[in-house]
Structure 1
Amino acid sequence: MKKRRFSLESNADGFNTGSRNWLLHARYVRGEHSLCLDLADELQKQYDNKHRYAHYIKGSVLADAGRLQEALERYHSCIRLHPQDPEPLKQVAKCLSRQHRFQLSLEAYLEADKLSKHPDPDIYCALAECSWNLGELENGVEWARSAVQAGGGERAGALLAKLLLACDDVQGALVAYDQALTTHACGADTLAAAGALRLRAGDPRRAFQLLGAALAQQPTQHAAALALAAMMLQHKDLDAALSRLKAALTAHPTCVAAHANLGMALLAKKKYIAALTCLQRASWAAPLSARAAHDLGVALLVCKRPASAFCRLATAAALQPFQPDTVLLIGIALERLEDSRADAAFSRALALATDDPLIRLNVAGRHARAGRLAEALQEAEATAELLQKEEKPDAQLTSSLVSLLELLSEAGQSREPGRAPPAIPDAEVDLPAVEAVKEDQFEADEV
């Protein structure tokens, strides 16, 4: 009887009667790692260090603990005992990927694919991820397509969309996301990514549906909350945007974008101290973020602190020298400081964006305030031409342009004889805004 029991357990790899592989597996999945290691050592002693499943489980425990090099040694022991099994080779490739040795990981996955008897979507997804990390995006797309065809599910579809988006194929990425959402029950991360891409592609209704579904599934999904908040800010729904941004910060307290957007929303509600606090937190958390420095500079300008605003805007311009809005704000800050370099900043902004009516209108206002009425009229007429080309001209810009032309006319600056008047586009003119501009006499605060 004892001899029969030994013969059954002598199969170190199987799950036959008398094998304790099931106990190894049960202790591993229950997280009883110390007991699992003790049992693995016992089995190795019993089978002269040739128990392949004990090597495999011990490697998995070591990999979970972050001891990747020791785990690799255990998996290599499995491969030496049974070279035709792809599973240990897949784990070797996974450990190499966690060590950021992506080229070796790619080669290991390719070898595992050769040993696999059937198409393995996990291998194809891993190969696509390795190609992504190595910068081989086209190869990554092909591996991701193979993973989708092999039944890789949500992971394969989301990975394919991510790689296509990295290749600037927005339409292909949208199709990949739609296919994944139609075929599989996707998680919150995939829904949020698809919604953000829909918003970027100019489909706000579908984006709102996807982002809402992501938050319904996982209320702490900060990417979806951020995207929804951005949509609400565009539609001037400040209270709803504030609630979404607070939810995003609860889930991700160090999110720079959430702090920056929350600051801008509070600034729109005229809660200046809270807005400056949020924007300063964003700037401190990301000192090399041009956007964070730009937003803080805007808030400081609104709060009539031009010297501090100039410092922040100069930082943003140093990080992104070709951003015309930042250069324009620097010009406004310098003008408020009565610095002679303001004209150079306005000229630089105009050179960076000659077709931007906002910048041209501000340059015209600068000329008018400096007494250069002829140049102001020229820039105002150029602004009118640009607004005329737009399908839906901005009402605020139009009203400001009307006010500027009226002030120039009152100052005695008229067009040359025989020259056609500038065509002012039809738009809803905000009369209170016009009166405010008249009272301010074109102070340096048009932006």
Structure 2
Amino acid sequence: MDGVVNYRIMEVAPGSRSWLLHARYVRGEHNVCLELVDELQRASHNTHRYAHFIKGMVLMDAGRYQDALERFHNCIRLQPRDPEPVKQVAKCLFQQGRYQLSLEAYMEADKLSKHQDPEIYCGLAECASKQDDLERGAEWGRAAVQAGGGERAAALLARLLLAAGDMPGAMAAYDQALSGDACGADTLAAAGALRLRAGDPRRAFQLLGAALAQQPTQHAAALALGAMLLTHRDADAALARLKAALAAHPVCVAAHTNLGLALMAKKKYIAALTCLHRAASSAPLSARAAHNLGLALLACRRPASAFCRFATAAALRPSEPHTVLLIGVALEQLGDERADAAFARAAELAPEDALVQLNVAGRHARAARLPLAAQLAACAARLLHQQRSPDPHLASMLANLLVLLREAGVDTEQLPSAPAVEITDEATRDEDEV
């Protein structure tokens, strides 16, 4: 309905029923609109501009873009200097995927417009983004914001800057939208997800919570908040948010995957396998879905099935070290000699990952290759000491490995000690469960 209220064809002679046509369209009474359009055109010998315009809008709403184009062109022939029909022509062309023609139509509407129109600039930005001209699209996005485009313009600018790799600029654009307007749930959710990616969980939690408070079925916010809670080991709250995300979007692969991981944290393995199987079936080319299903199968002591899933994930993403590491774990449980090659490959892919180095060291220790185990344990200790806040689970694993090496006769006095970290009761319980 964009453009109807401001359309200057409303200025008609006394006795015209354009006001009634406008009211019918705003109420969504499209069938009545079309009947009234035909009546007005018969009375005016097919020269009623507003009737042409409204019929074009009705046809555009119905997805009949080519028919709508004809109506808008009739408006342009009757009043060539009016930018509103030209804007609607641009929208129809955009919906048809004719982005260059749409851009040219928006440019013509901008020439005809007597003021800076943020709707035109937003359209130009979207056309440029579809043509992979992100720099030019961002320029028009900024023009839309400066012209008073409000939330829509700022959110569009943020998306374009994010697509161009400018995360600080995207966050600044969202901040501007949030400070100047009462934003909707979609914008709040997008801003919260971006803050989460940028490593600002506190602000992300506020924005995602605000989005859900405004629209409890907002899928993206529920999914992001559920994943955030799952990362912080709050499985119960994560389950509630992920179920809400699935209620709004039942076929979401990410929601099924995260729900499965949350159920695993609650030791509900059958339900977790069901969710993860559903995710892997819905997205057979998703390496992450295959990886997570393999992880669940490994936890359920089904190493052969887990190996098949990890192999699928590794085929889709060969350079993922954790998937290759888990292939080694599954092969070791199966007694397959190829486990050593998988562990070596994982260590090669992630030489600065303490988790990988510790697991490879453990493999060497179990295979009685104690000097290699000691060497990799020293590497893992060095990596953990370099971290500002070392993972307590990894520190505990390293301490246990050093004890075992010392009992096996290895001189560990030359090795760095495990970093001292505070391990909570919850963390100790989680480690015992694993």
Q: TM-score, normalised by structure 2?
A: 0.93
Q: Which amino acid aligns with 1:133?
A: K
> Residues 21, 421 of structure 1: CA spacing in aligned structure 2 closer, same or farther, 3 A cutoff?
closer
Aligned mate of 1:365, from 362, 367, 381 = 362
Aligned mate of 1:158, from 155, 158, 163 = 155
Q: Which amino acid aligns with 1:99?
A: Q
Kept in 2: contact 1:328–1:346 (CA 8 A)? yes
**Rg bigger for which structure?**
1
Aligned mate of 2:417, from 423, 431, 443 = 423
Instruction: Map residues 345-424 of structure 1 onto 2, 5 A cutoff.
Output: 345-414=342-411, 420-424=414-418
Instruction: Map residues 18-167 of structure 1 onto 2, 5 A cutoff.
Output: 18-167=15-164
CA distance in 2, matches of 1:322, 1:238: 30
CA distance in 2, matches of 1:181, 1:430: 38
What's the secondary structure of 1:108's corresponding residue?
helix
**Identity within the alignment, %:** 69
Deviation at 1:30, TM superposition (A): 2.1
Q: TM-score, normalised by structure 1?
A: 0.91
Aligned mate of 1:321, from 318, 321, 329 = 318
Instruction: Find the counterpart in structure 2 of residue 189 from structure 1.
Output: 186
Instruction: Find the counterpart in structure 2 of residue 8 from structure 1.
Output: none
Deviation at 1:13, TM superposition (A): 7.0
Instruction: Map residues 162-311 of structure 1 onto 2, 5 A cutoff.
Output: 162-311=159-308
CA distance in 2, matches of 1:239, 1:435: 16
Summarize deviations over 1:374-424 as a string: whole Å, max 9, x none: 211111121112112222222221222222222222222336xxx833333
CA distance in 2, matches of 1:434, 1:22: 72
Structure 2, unaligned runs of 5 or more: 1-8
CA distance in 2, matches of 1:411, 1:13: 91
Kept in 2: contact 1:13–1:51 (CA 8 A)? no
Summarize deviations over 1:170-189 as a string: whole Å, max 9, x none: 11111111111111110011
Instruction: Find the counterpart in structure 1 of residue 3 from structure 2.
Output: none
Deviation at 1:343, TM superposition (A): 1.1
Kept in 2: contact 1:398–1:429 (CA 8 A)? no
> Residues 274, 16 of structure 1: CA spacing in aligned structure 2 closer, same or farther, 3 A cutoff?
same
CA distance in 1, matches of 2:298, 2:166: 39
Larger mean CA deviation between 426-435 and 367-376 belongs to 426-435
Kept in 2: contact 1:403–1:434 (CA 8 A)? no
Instruction: Find the counterpart in structure 2 of residue 336 from structure 1.
Output: 333
> Residues 14, 301 of structure 1: CA spacing in aligned structure 2 closer, same or farther, 3 A cutoff?
same
Summarize deviations over 1:213-252 as a string: whole Å, max 9, x none: 1111101011111122122112221111111111111111
Kept in 2: contact 1:331–1:343 (CA 8 A)? yes
CA distance in 1, matches of 2:426, 2:154: 52
What's the secondary structure of 1:151's corresponding residue?
coil
Deviation at 1:47, TM superposition (A): 2.3
CA distance in 1, matches of 2:228, 2:86: 46
Summarize deviations over 1:108-127 as a string: whole Å, max 9, x none: 11111111111001001111
Kept in 2: contact 1:266–1:274 (CA 8 A)? yes
Deviation at 1:45, TM superposition (A): 2.5
What's the secondary structure of 1:19's corresponding residue?
coil
Summarize deviations over 1:277-329 as a string: whole Å, max 9, x none: 11111111111111111111110100011111111111111111111111111
Deviation at 1:435, TM superposition (A): 12
Q: Which amino acid aligns with 2:416?
A: P
> Residues 15, 390 of structure 1: CA spacing in aligned structure 2 closer, same or farther, 3 A cutoff?
same
Deviation at 1:65, TM superposition (A): 1.1
Instruction: Find the counterpart in structure 2 of residue 3 from structure 1.
Output: none
What do you get for the CA RMSD once the two structures are aligned? 2.2
Kept in 1: contact 2:99–2:131 (CA 8 A)? yes
Kept in 2: contact 1:396–1:430 (CA 8 A)? no
Summarize deviations over 1:244-280 as a string: whole Å, max 9, x none: 1111111111111111111001001100000001111
Kept in 2: contact 1:199–1:207 (CA 8 A)? yes
Superposition misfits of 4+ residues, deviation over 4 angstroms? 429-437
CA distance in 2, matches of 1:398, 1:40: 76
Structure 1, unaligned runs of 5 or more: 1-11
CA distance in 2, matches of 1:236, 1:39: 61
